A and B are shown apart, each in its own frame.
Chain A
């Protein structure tokens, strides 16, 4: 298996500079957080670690993260103006430089919320604009965003996973990769399923109604 498959991995992507890891990757993490949260956040607290904490101003990592939270793409020319765009959108944000060591040098923890709904995500930018979401609301996961995926919050009961895979099988949807994490036996758990194709809304509804399923988030690619 080769690492790069397309000529457009080499001649591309089109992006706002200066760094594929510190700028383009940061936009993608912000975008993932917005998508998983489900709307423009009212309030964002952003903790920067490692190289992100040391060089974020020079690389525009702060602007890139905000731009991502606003739903901008990596080539959006409004990225340098993300702070005024955030004001327009009514988003309050706060950056904190952390000094604790993390496994990966380019790590960010994003907390979003409006008082009722609290949300936390940890993302890492692993180079060349590629990212990984490694923590979501306290659950560990490995989500690249390179493939369509579904994240399913469910109760840790027997049959929960089977009910999901049965529905996918019935709809002839192939699973590329799957992981399950739980906080404790019998409590809330998270299924992360990477697929070969995007799922249609009727399949999503069917999954939503399956036994022990609490919430579904679709990652479209």
Chain B
């Protein structure tokens, strides 16, 4: 079993296999499952992601009314104007937003690695898909590669905002996506590790400060820029840019920062954006709406 990114990369290089393949083989070994069973299960997760994006792009609104409809706005803007950041980047942003808007509206999503950070991986994947035209198998491999990096983070640090701040949740998701983009674009395993490191370095210190404690503001937009960060960092790694700090050490830094982060900035809705005048006013409004006890008669 690989415990670190260095071990993951080494296993891929020594056996001359992809990072996705390392993850698939480990899953087969641990659970004594056939290759096909594992691929089929990931294929179903991919379908869930596709359906969530499609639903989000057709327009949804959350129960609280705080989020929804931005994926539609972005797609319209892309159709009617020339986006300054380029069509691929904005496509990733719109598809990440679509996924998290569906999540906020109680739709079905695939947690990657959590529900609150479910937009980064599909956002990057489905945008890059338009450019690279991958096979279904290559898209499934994208998820295994993302999963392999997430696996290392989850076992060496944390992947939830409550435990380590947003850097642990959306930070990990964006970095996972970045590593997988590199592999899909024919980069080396080592370049995937650099892409992961570059993405996560740029999200270190990010706090988890959701307004009213809901997985909406700013979570949806953090997934949007998380997906964009993933693609930009992947391009940097593919260009040959290297992270001076090795990937595993960046994960270690993220862990220590998360440990030092005050509780008010770890999903308790007591600090950051949640504690702004507008954040507090929105929370008060929602809780008043909630008020009293609820009951139903059969």
Contacts and interface: CB of A to CB of B under 8 A. Distances in A.
A8 interface: yes
A17 B104 contact: yes
A162 interface: no
Contacts of B102: 17
Given A60-B106, A86-B298, A6 B31 contact: yes
Contacts of A18: 62, 103-106, 115-116, 214-216
Per DSSP, chain A at the interface is: mixed
B112 to A, nearest CB: 5
A16 B107 contact: yes
- Max count, chain B CB within 10 A of own CB: residue among A17, A42, A56, A86: A17
Interface string A1-15: 011111111111111
A21 to B, nearest CB: 7
Interface residues of A, number: 52
A203 interface: no
Interface stretch (A76-84, A149-157, A164-172): A76-84
Q: What class of interface size applies to chain B in its complex with A? A: 35 or more
A187 interface: no
A220 interface: no
B27 A6 contact: yes
Nearest to A126: B162
Contact of B113 (A10, A62, A80, A83): A10
Interface in B121-156: 121, 143-144, 146-148, 150-151, 154-155
Contacts of A16: 106-109
Interface of B: 1, 3, 23, 26-27, 30-31, 41-42, 44-45, 48, 62-64, 102-116, 118, 121, 143-144, 146-148, 150-151, 154-155, 159-160, 162-163, 176, 212-216, 269, 286-287, 289-290, 293-298
Given A14-B111, A57-B63, 8 more contacts: A7-B147, A10-B147, A11-B143, A11-B147, A16-B107, A17-B103, A17-B215, A19-B215
Interface of A: 2-21, 23-24, 42, 51, 54-60, 62-63, 75, 77, 79-80, 83, 86-87, 89-97, 127-129
